């Protein structure tokens, strides 16, 4: 039987024509025999080649052929050494007069591109590193400048004379000798309770070492009663003759506000800063006169109420606005002017404006730094604000005024962290979660009140000390809610059992010891504001040594 054998490949450039060790034409052997077929690759490129071996066999006649197809697939690899051995090859196109690039040229081009890529990446990394270093240096310098500015303000204020006498500690005493123990009420022990609050109880011989450590810290950071060092410098008068505070008790607030009245056409309302159920605070301007008689615009905050307010709510609003009327101090923000006419329109009460507005809102914005706040407050800055609160309250107490509602919501702050205490007008409406009614038809700041104010409505400078301790806690937590899990109706029993707010995270033990001293059950055992001022000034100075 004759046979014919043919070979077919799918990619002649990757594989040469296959060859067999027998002839392509002949007779089929009568005995079993083996033949071989070579599939030679060209090694010029990487490819997968399909090979078809076709064998035609004639069985009965030369015109009757039977075809057998053997298919196989082979992978051919490129040999990179061919170009190096043969040098530059030429294009297989006979009409081409240009030499084709060799494999070595291609490898060199690839290596050059890789080198350029790595160089570009390295340069970019160096630039990013330099920018990061520059930003870090700028941030550190700004922080140092800010801390230095606060320190200069503190140093200046501490050197200024006040209307009281200052007790000086002999210069030959050391710092440890100058500090004396805290009053007995600061010797407290701390026990964790199931609700993560803290209970304060008198020390016992079985106190733990941690309780003793807290007691020692509390004893270290209070000093004997010393008259305050606040400054008497004040803000410029809006109108002459109002710098003497007046007793507003039993006096119609409209008569008091008439003394600083201003025409309505001189007031321009801007955007709303805070809004409650019936109260609103606007950012606006007023047209006022300077010392030479010229007129200029002044940015102010304007408090007013809506038409939904009842007459008794209007009366309370005006009465509270008069609380700080006529007081001039750098840490007090009294009423500046008022417009009560025409009678059929709601009154407009004008106050000095600050760049950052309400302190509680400012602290909450700093806590949510991803919302765009450009402040990252540190402990020294928070202590600096607490010191300003003390100075403002001291000034009020010298004027025989008890604030009764000391809290961050009733403070304003400037861009340089200058702080001013304001009255509590509209606070019940703008911060409803901070006030509660205990069945006596009166909304009160229950969680800021001292135990005697809560039970017997008795207010004194000592009750302001208690409220300052809660305000200091607000500062250290950046505006969180005190006693958030305690029912307002259970607050009196809770405090009488000795429980207090837990120590804030990242709050130094020294500051929490100050808070604990402010929350003594007996008002006589609480520290004076003069003691608190000396304590926080010393702590502020100590913090400055490590910045």
Q: How far are the Cα atoms of 366, 402, 442, 489, 491 from residue 438, in angstroms, in the given order?
A: 33, 22, 7, 6, 10
* Residue 299 CA: distances (Å) to CA of 39, 267, 352, 373: 93, 10, 7, 22
In sequence order, which residues have a C-beta less than 8 Å from that of residue 80 and are 6 or more positions away?
103, 107
Give the integer Cα–Cα distance in Å for 95 and 142: 73
Prior bond to 544 cis, omega within 30? no
First and final C-alpha spacing in the chain: 104
DSSP string across 56-94: EEESSSTT-EEEEEEEEEEEE---THHHHHH-S-B-S-T
Catalytic residue among 103, 207, 405, 423: 405
Angle in degrees, 0-180, between the axes of helices 529-544 and 103-159, rounded to the nearest 10: 150
Give me the residue label for tokens 């808070």.
515
| Residue 359 structure tokens | 């302190």
The token duo for 194 is 């199931």
- Residue 385 parent element (H or E): helix 379-398
405 is catalytic: yes
CB contact at 8 A, 19 and 37: yes
Whether 160 contacts 154, CB under 8 Å: no
CA dist., res. 338 & res. 84, Å (int): 96
From residue 435, alpha-carbon distances to 329, 443, 446 in Å are: 28, 6, 6
* Torsion angle, alpha carbons of 382, 383, 384, 388, to 10: 100
Query: Whose CA is closest to 218, among 229, 233, 207?
Result: 207
Instruction: Enter the tokens of residue 471.
Output: 């305000």
Take residue 321 and report the two structure tokens written for it: 């606005």
CB atoms within 10 A of CB 235: 17
What residues are annotated to the active site? 405
């Amino acid at each position: 039987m004759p046979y014919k054998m043919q070979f077919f490949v799918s990619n002649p450039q990757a594989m040469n024509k296959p060859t067999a060790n027998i002839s392509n034409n002949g007779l089929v052997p009568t005995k079993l025999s083996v033949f071989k077929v070579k599939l030679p690759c060209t090694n010029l490129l990487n490819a997968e080649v399909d090979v078809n071996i076709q064998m035609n066999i004639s069985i009965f006649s030369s015109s009757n052929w039977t075809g057998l197809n053997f298919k196989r697939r082979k992978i051919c690899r490129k040999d990179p050494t061919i170009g190096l051995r043969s040098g530059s090859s030429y294009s297989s196109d006979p009409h081409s007069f240009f030499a084709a690039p060799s494999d070595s040229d291609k490898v060199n081009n690839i290596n050059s591109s890789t080198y350029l890529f790595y160089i570009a990446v390295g340069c970019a990394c160096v630039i990013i590193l330099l920018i990061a270093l520059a930003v870090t240096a700028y941030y550190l310098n700004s922080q140092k400048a800010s801390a230095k500015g606060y320190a200069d303000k503190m140093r200046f204020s501490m050197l200024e004379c006040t209307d009281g006498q200052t007790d000086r500690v002999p210069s030959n005493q050391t710092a440890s000798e100058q500090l004396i123990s805290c009053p007995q009420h600061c010797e407290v022990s701390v026990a964790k309770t199931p609700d993560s609050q803290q209970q304060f109880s008198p020390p016992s011989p079985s106190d733990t070492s941690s309780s003793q450590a807290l007691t020692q810290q509390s004893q270290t950071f209070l000093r004997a009663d010393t008259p305050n060092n606040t400054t008497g410098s004040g803000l410029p008068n809006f109108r002459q003759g109002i710098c003497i505070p007046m007793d507003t008790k039993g006096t119609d607030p409209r008569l008091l506000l008439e003394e600083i009245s201003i025409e309505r056409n001189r007031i321009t309302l801007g955007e709303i800063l805070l809004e409650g159920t019936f109260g609103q605070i606007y950012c606006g301007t007023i047209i006022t006169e300077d010392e030479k008689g010229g007129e200029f615009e002044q940015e102010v905050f304007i408090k007013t109420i809506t038409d939904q307010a009842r007459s008794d709510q209007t009366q309370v609003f005006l009465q509270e606005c008069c609380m700080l009327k006529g007081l001039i101090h750098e840490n007090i923000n009294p009423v500046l002017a008022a417009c009560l006419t025409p009678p059929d329109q709601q009154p407009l009460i004008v106050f000095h404006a600050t760049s950052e507005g309400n302190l509680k809102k400012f602290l909450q914005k700093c806590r949510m730094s991803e919302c765009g706040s450009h402040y990252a407050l540190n402990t020294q800055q928070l202590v600096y604000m607490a010191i300003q609160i003390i100075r403002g309250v001291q000034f009020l107490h010298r004027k025989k005024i008890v604030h009764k509602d000391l809290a961050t919501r009733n403070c304003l702050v400037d861009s340089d962290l200058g702080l001013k205490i304001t009255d509590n007008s509209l606070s019940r409406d703008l911060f409803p979660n901070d006030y509660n009614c205990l069945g006596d038809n009166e909304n009160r700041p229950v969680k800021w009140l001292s135990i005697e104010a809560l039970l017997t409505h008795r207010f004194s400078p000592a009750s302001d000390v208690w409220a300052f301790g809660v305000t200091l806690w607000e500062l250290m937590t950046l505006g969180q809610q005190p006693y958030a899990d305690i029912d307002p109706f259970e607050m009196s029993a809770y405090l009488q059992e000795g429980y207090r707010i837990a120590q804030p995270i990242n709050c130094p033990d020294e500051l929490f010891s100050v808070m604990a001293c402010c929350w003594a059950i007996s008002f006589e055992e609480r520290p004076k504001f003069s003691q608190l001022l000396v304590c926080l000034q010393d702590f502020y100075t100590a913090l400055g040594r490590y910045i």
